[in-house]
Structure 1
């Protein structure tokens, strides 16, 4: 996830010097969109039940997706 310090924004200001828009590189913009998608997925799954790591490993082995 990006932090404000990692971005290199340029600002568009009005006549009074108030920031009204932000200009980001396409790469930085796309990274922010990916971060938003990841956060939305986390929020959507917040109420799902969890299982322990040991149970996950056992389930993967049972289903043949993980070998000893």
Structure 2
């Protein structure tokens, strides 16, 4: 991946109470996601359009925990 995760501003959900959560960052071409417990690992990269559609689906309640 060309986008260096060291120069990116990572953020956690405001609902992350334990501190051991996923973090996301807005990069040039992608939205990156990593495990906050292993920040040195390679983040997952999602095209911004795919991430936007995912967030729309979450907000619309299309995913449900069992």
Q: TM-score normalised to the size of structure 1?
A: 0.28
Structure having the higher strand fraction is: 2
Structure having the higher helix fraction is: 1
Q: TM-score normalised to the size of structure 2?
A: 0.29
